[in-house]
Amino acid sequence: SPPAAVSQVTVRDALNQALDEELERDERVFLLGEEVAQYDGAYKISRGLWKKYGDKRVIDTPISEMGFAGIAVGAAMVCLRPVCEFMTFNFSMQAIDQVINSAAKTCYMSAGSIAVPIVFRGPNGASAGVAAQHSQCFAAWYGHCPGLKVVSPWSSEDAKGLLKAAIRDDNPVVMLESELLYGVPFEMSEQAQSKEFVIPIGKAKIEKQGTHVTLVAHSRPVGHCLEAAAVLSKEGVECEVINLRTIRPMDIEMVEASVVKTNHLVTVEGGWPQFGVGAEICARIMEGPAFNYLDAPAVRVTGADVPMPYAKILEDNSIPQVKDIVFAVKKALNI
């Protein structure tokens, strides 16, 4: 049989494809947020959708996150399936009461009688030159809260498969995208471009097999890990790179299986160190069966413990770079 067709698709187009397919598939799905309709989205994620589906399905809102997130949560409670876009997740702070107190807790507090099938999505973490107001990673914040599912895609395939899964899920899902990945093209198989392609929430993916050290990351740092792995490979060190994909529920079994194989662990994230995603992974490994297989302490690579500076040189030094990952691997392997 001929090889399956593979094409280059940007993360932006993959997200647009997912939204288009789900709006078409289920009339209960609608998109709301600032600039999502007539302007085609602040980052052009919703390009063409307002023209195709009209005012009832793609809705421009005022600049009032608490207001439109609340409207979306209420709509979800009466069986619609809203996709609520935040222009950046930093602005979700205005609506965190709605996300946690209204969306995340309702299914539990109603003994399962009220589902809240809603997706909160938008760019998360550092962009470029937007300083502290726009550069925080919320993976640890939202990953902390029971009642939410939290996904953090890297590639175009991740973005499409996880957004479709999130929209179809009966729970509130927080989808943390990276603005710096929107324009990046990734190879996408024919299967990944089909209308029924979904990635199950809670399953990580091994992006590169290796034997010497396990690298675990989510979102943009997955790419940095693969770059670091290529550098280290030339020095005879083979890294296994795991793309978490989901922050909550976390696929700790895949990380454990990898650590059992490599005996070394390095976690990489753009967020802050204290109470971070890497901290959680390290704790889970320490408490579980893989701990006895570690030949050295786990090492965390994180963003700097500061609000994001504006100056480019300081920003570069506040975000994990490939050289930081290479350094951490050598530290873990004592080379």
Q: Kindly indicate the confidence band of residue 6, based on its pLDDT and cuts at 50, 70 and 90.
A: confident
Edge-to-edge strand order for the sheet containing 299-301?
Answer: 205-208, 239-243, 213-217, 265-268, 299-301
Residue 156 lies in a domain: yes
What number is the average pLDDT over the span 163-172? 98
Residue 134 annotated as catalytic: yes
Identified catalytic residue from 34, 134, 207, 280 = 134
State pLDDT tens for residues 120-139. Answer: 999 999 999 999 999 999 99
Identified catalytic residue from 65, 85, 240, 280 = 65
Q: Domain of 66?
A: 7-193
Residue 198 lies in a domain: no
**CATH code of residue 219:** 3.40.50.920
Contact 116/298 with Cβ under 8 angstroms? no
The residue from 149, 169, 193 where one domain ends is 193
pLDDT at residue 5 in the model: 75
pLDDT at residue 178 in the model: 98
Q: Kindly indicate the confidence band of residue 1, based on its pLDDT and cuts at 50, 70 and 90.
A: low
Query: What does the block give as tokens for 37?
Result: 């309709």
Q: Kindly indicate the confidence band of residue 4, based on its pLDDT and cuts at 50, 70 and 90.
A: low
Phi, psi dihedral angles at 82 (to 5 degrees): -75, 145
The pTM (predicted TM-score) of the whole model is: 0.96
pLDDT at residue 265 in the model: 98
Q: Considering its fold, how many domains does the chain have in total?
A: 2
- CA–CA separation, 255 and 12 (whole Å): 29
Q: 166 with 242, same domain?
A: no
The residue from 156, 172, 193 where one domain ends is 193
Q: Which of 134, 155, 124 is nearest to 277 (CA)?
A: 124
**CATH code of residue 123:** 3.40.50.970
Q: 145 with 61, same domain?
A: yes
Residue 157 annotated as catalytic: no
Residue 176 lies in a domain: yes
Q: How far is CA 192 from CA 2, 199, 310, in A?
A: 17, 9, 38
Q: 37 with 144, same domain?
A: yes
Share of the chain above pLDDT 70, in %: 99
Q: 189 with 217, same domain?
A: no
Q: Give yes or no for residue 158 having a pLDDT over 80.
A: yes
Q: Which of 119, 180, 171, 174 is nearest to 141 (CA)?
A: 174
Residue 200 lies in a domain: no
